[in-house]
Amino acid sequence: MRYNHILTSVIGAHPNIQDAIKYFENEDRIVAVVADGLGSKKKSGDGARLICYLIVEELKSKQLPLLPADIASPNIWYKYFEDGRMNYNDYCTTCSFVVIDKKSKQMSVGQIGDSPIFVSTDSNPVVEIRREKDFSNITDCLGSIERSQFVIHNYVFTSIIRVLVTSDGIGDELNSSSLDSLFSYLSAKYQSYTPKSRSRRFTKEIKNTVGKLNHDDKSAIYIWSI
């Protein structure tokens, strides 16, 4: 079994990008992370980049399946700012990830905050993993005083895996009734391009479709097996 991926991170209507993405792959493991820095926090982009780095470093070798208590990265994230005498509340960010173990055909996805994840295994329809904001539009995040653990979902697959991790600038615009069609479209279209050109073409498509629907940064990583 082989795996393909496309990724993008497009700046929204503000001076500096506050999203971050990171993708890691070797012969045994895939780790993909999307973090969405909160727009109200002046250094949230730095917080997003840090958690992406920490998650990849931790999960590229950790045994699956995962439990929330297994993941040390959030505590390391807080400690980094505390040790540097920095206010971690200036660096608030959500974070969502997927880790795939190629040999055991296991997958874990994790989420702090409202960056959506969409998953389909084998012949199953796409499952949405969305966290709803409350009435005040406040989302769970790293950097809040009340420290959160990742919400984890574990999967086992036989031959087919498709997963899309997004910031809410893209995920909030996706129609639930069209997700299966979207996955089929992305897999078929981007399989036809060379690996070097896929993400460049995907970025162009995101700018032309959802680019003007909201002012948020727009980041996504889509992974599919072939």
DSSP code per residue over 27-50? SSEEEEEEEEE-TTSTTHHHHHHH
Domain coordinates in residue numbering, the chain: 3-225
How much of the chain exceeds pLDDT 70, in percent? 97
pTM of the model: 0.95
Say if residue 144's pLDDT is above 80: yes
Cα gap 38→49, rounded to integer Å: 12
Q: What is the CATH number of domain 3-225?
A: 3.60.40.10
The residue type of 152 is I
Give mean pLDDT, residues 14-35. 94
Tens-place pLDDT, residues 164-206: 999 999 999 999 999 999 999 999 999 999 988 999 999 999 9
Paired with 165 in beta bridges are 117, 221
